[in-house]
Structure 1
């Protein structure tokens, strides 16, 4: 489904900036385990820390700050405390829950095996579909994306995601929920609310 932004010409994500506890350990994980090229390194002026950039493909970058004296992470608040299927995956408002990195669908199984071989703790393969469970152990025609989740050394949740379907209008079919838990009926579906009896 081709969707055009009439307000701004966006060209994808330039970079997403996260904070790490140990830049050397971050380089070892992202460059040496995941193979992301390190494209730019910066020592911040006045001893305020470092800022490193890794290439994640398609002209996009994943960047990390290291700040001396930064507060410790708070799993379950600033990021999920557990991987999907392994515990509480919720995080606080305004937090970054996870980063999904697009991988080719035809190489998904190979990449899953490669993560396991490198000693990365991963979830099972999740084949997301529109079933009540929203995931299947089997790859079938209704699967729209395949996922595997894992943590980096600082507890940042990462996902390798492989799209398996081209979306159409039928894929945008749910009205959003407001902060108080009520649905914004008709906002997406354009239905009028059903009166209560």
Structure 2
């Protein structure tokens, strides 16, 4: 296939992203109370449809807005849920968009009012984020975009050179240092 041919797969967005949970009901209630997500549907089987394997499960689906669905599996016959100990806890996370910095700060106040520890806001140059954990140990991020069209265009322009340089050196490329300067200028040197 040459570079001018259309790709044979045309995606229409994310149908759903699925993660494991310790307790389906607790998870549905937490995401409703903390993030306002609507519980939309569930599937439950004793045998996995794709493999036929006996492994009872509850598969719950939550509306994350804009047609995005977050799903969870409760698997009572599997070993206790853990996490990849070779990957830092901050790496694997679920990130959701909020509409503005004001909404981000209101979300932080709401989450903290529920007794949940919140980190941030953290300034990433073109967006700001807060972070906290769900009852399953999944890190959740709420992010508010604050960048300009020119900044997003510049990031797209340097994306491939950055990836190429990273692939060769395994050191952070300097192509988008201006992002860090933006964050530092707003918060002293705490970027």
Same fold flag (TM > 0.5): yes
- Match status 1:101 vs 2:85: no
- Following TM superposition, by how much is the alpha carbon of 1:122 offset from its aligned partner in structure 2, in angstroms? 0.9
What is the alpha-carbon distance in structure 2 between the residues aligned to residue 32 and residue 175 of structure 1? 39
Q: 1:170 aligns with which of 154, 158, 164?
A: 154
1:66-117 per-position Cα deviation (integer Å, ceiling 9, x unaligned): 1122233444537643xxxxxxx35xxxxxx111101111411111111111
Q: CA RMSD in A?
A: 2.7
- Match status 1:119 vs 2:118: no
Shift of the 175–43 alpha-carbon distance from structure 1 to 2, 3 Å rule, reads closer
- Following TM superposition, by how much is the alpha carbon of 1:44 offset from its aligned partner in structure 2, in angstroms? 1.4
What is the alpha-carbon distance in structure 2 between the residues aligned to residue 49 and residue 78 of structure 1? 27
- Match status 1:24 vs 2:19: no
What is the alpha-carbon distance in structure 2 between the residues aligned to residue 79 and residue 53 of structure 1? 26
Structure number having the greater strand percentage: 2
Q: Which runs of 5+ in 2 are unaligned?
A: 1-5, 48-54, 176-191
What is the alpha-carbon distance in structure 1 between the residues aligned to residue 39 and residue 11 of structure 2? 24
**Equivalence for 2:70:** 62
**Equivalence for 2:50:** none
Contact 1:79 1:155 in 2 (8 A): no
Contact 1:79 1:157 in 2 (8 A): no
**Helix, strand or coil: the match of 2:120?**
coil
Shift of the 15–48 alpha-carbon distance from structure 1 to 2, 3 Å rule, reads same
Report the count of equivalent residues: 153
Shift of the 42–75 alpha-carbon distance from structure 1 to 2, 3 Å rule, reads closer
Runs of 4+, deviation exceeding 4 Å: none
Shift of the 154–121 alpha-carbon distance from structure 1 to 2, 3 Å rule, reads same
* TM-score computed with the length of structure 2 as normaliser: 0.69
What is the alpha-carbon distance in structure 1 between the residues aligned to residue 74 and residue 40 of structure 2? 16
**Equivalence for 2:124:** 128
* TM-score computed with the length of structure 1 as normaliser: 0.67
Structure number having the greater helix percentage: 2
What is the alpha-carbon distance in structure 2 between the residues aligned to residue 69 and residue 45 of structure 1? 10
- Following TM superposition, by how much is the alpha carbon of 1:12 offset from its aligned partner in structure 2, in angstroms? 2.3
What is the alpha-carbon distance in structure 2 between the residues aligned to residue 79 and residue 72 of structure 1? 18
